[in-house]
């Protein structure tokens, strides 16, 4: 294809239309993924755009269509494994559908920071919002702000938002039942922060299964998801508690716990079992841990 374009400006939508032999309205429909466009026409227009390296002007398109084709993501812990993987999946799905993604990471989970992050996203004219911020206070702020775009959440909060949940309670019950079936009767729960919705749900699942089995109930140890806390908790448990198994609410805490057991005795104590709720393949080297997968709409879901 021979292209003759002015060298003093970037290619325009009318250049694409002229070279593809279609109207500029047809090019616009291709860009907007309109269902009426034939595949042959779409292929021809796309080939021209690639050849002349045409890049749509998002601001101009938004003025014409009044759609930003942008999804906002509010994340409170993007450095954690689960939220990070969720963000990657959201970006992949959005790109495949012709959408952009704007991400606002919460440096702090106080109400002012949450409001500022939401205002920032709304200022980008987002058309939808995905919430990967599992603290209850995030949803309290959302309710007060009356967000006027649809939003979905991975956490069950009892609100009106759409929900794509993993069953945290069922996962915790399965992990605890596994330990009981192995013959353990003195089981400790190393829990996550209780301002996290998932941590509270896993604790409820653990306590419900312990209660159903009519076993002794011990106060859960409230952690912070980190391997450092797991290590500290493991050292303290060995010094102060009589137990045979631990259900850890996250992989990192489980790994820290296992290292504490190994360091305390010079080897991993085979008489004690550690069960974790999730499957996480990144972390310090150590013994293999029993784990429970959680499924979300037929797919394995990994977090923290």
Q: Which CATH fold topology does 13-64 show?
A: 434 Repressor (Amino-terminal Domain) (1.10.260)
- What is the per-residue pLDDT across 91-103, written as a single tens digit (0 to 9) for each? 999 988 888 899 9
From-to residues of CATH 1.10.260.40 in the chain: 13-64
102-147 pLDDT tens trace:
998 887 778 888 888 888 888 888 888 998 877 778 888 888 887 7
**pLDDT recorded at residue 61:** 57
- Going by their DSSP bridges, the two strands 294-296 and 299-301 should be labelled as antiparallel
Q: Are 224 and 241 in contact (CB under 8 A)?
A: no
Q: How far apart are CA 186 and CA 246, in angstroms?
A: 9
CA distance 133 to 155: 8
Q: pTM of the entire structure?
A: 0.61
- At the topology level of CATH, where does 68-163 sit? Rossmann fold (3.40.50)
> Whole-angstrom Cα distance, residue 142 to residue 109?
13
Q: Could you tell me which residues are beta bridge partners of residue 275?
A: 247, 290
| Partners of 130 in beta bridges | 73, 152
pLDDT, position 280: 40
Question: DSSP assignment of 120-187, as one string?
Answer: HHHTTT-SEEEEE--BHHHHHHHHHHT--S-EEESS--SSSSEE----HHHHHHHHHHHHHHTT--SE
**Structural element, H or E, at residue 64:** helix 58-65
Q: Which residue has the tokens 């779409």?
A: 42
CB 94 within 8 A of CB 101: yes
Compute the mean pLDDT over every residue in the chain, rounded to the nearest whole number. 79
Q: What is the pLDDT of residues 204-216, one digit of tens each?
A: 999 999 999 999 9
CATH 3.40.50.2300 residue spans of the chain = 68-163, 168-295
Cα–Cα distance measured from residue 167 to residue 246, given in angstroms and rounded to the nearest whole number: 20
Sheet hosting strand 128-132, strand order edge to edge:
100-105, 70-75, 128-132, 151-153, 162-163
pLDDT band at 3 (very low <50, low <70, confident <90, very high): low
- The residue ranking higher by pLDDT, 101 or 84, is 101
Count CB neighbours of 92 within 10 A.
Answer: 11
- Calculate mean pLDDT across residues 145-161: 71
Asked whether the predicted pLDDT for residue 63 surpasses 90, the reply is no
Average pLDDT over residues 46-52: 89
pLDDT tens-digit readout, 157-194: 555 455 565 688 999 999 999 999 999 999 999 999 88
Is the CATH number 3.40.50.2300 carried by domain 168-295? yes
What CA–CA distance (Å, rounded) separates 152 from 93?
14
Find the mean pLDDT for residues 39-59. 84
């Amino acid at each position: 294809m021979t292209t003759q374009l002015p060298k003093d400006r970037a290619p325009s939508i009318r250049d694409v239309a002229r070279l593809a032999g279609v109207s500029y309205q047809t090019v616009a429909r291709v860009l907007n993924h309109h269902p009426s466009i034939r595949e042959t026409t779409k292929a021809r227009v796309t080939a021209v755009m690639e050849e002349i390296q045409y890049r749509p002007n998002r601001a101009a398109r938004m003025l014409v269509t009044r759609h930003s084709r942008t999804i906002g993501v509010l994340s409170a812990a993007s450095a954690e494994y689960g939220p990070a993987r969720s963000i990657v999946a959201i970006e992949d799905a959005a790109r495949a559908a012709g959408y952009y993604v704007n991400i606002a990471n919460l440096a702090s989970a106080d109400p002012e920071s949450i409001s500022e992050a939401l205002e920032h996203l709304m200022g980008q004219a987002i058309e939808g919002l995905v919430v990967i911020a599992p603290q209850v206070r995030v949803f309290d702020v959302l309710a007060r702000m009356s967000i006027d775009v649809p939003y979905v959440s991975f956490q069950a909060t009892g609100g009106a938002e759409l929900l794509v949940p993993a069953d945290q309670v069922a996962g915790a019950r399965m992990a605890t039942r596994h330990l009981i079936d192995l013959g353990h009767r003195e089981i400790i729960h190393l829990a996550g922060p209780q301002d996290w919705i998932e941590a509270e749900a896993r604790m409820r699942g653990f306590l419900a299964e312990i209660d159903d089995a009519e076993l002794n109930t011990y106060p859960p140890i409230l952690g912070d998801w980190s391997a450092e806390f797991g290590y500290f908790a493991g050292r303290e448990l060995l010094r102060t508690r009589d137990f045979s198994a631990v259900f850890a609410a996250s992989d990192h805490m489980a790994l820290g716990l296992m290292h504490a057991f190994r360091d305390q005795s010079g080897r991993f104590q085979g008489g004690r079992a550690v069960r974790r709720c999730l499957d996480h393949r990144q972390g310090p080297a150590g013994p293999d841990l029993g784990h429970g997968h959680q499924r979300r709409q037929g797919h394995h879901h990994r977090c923290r």
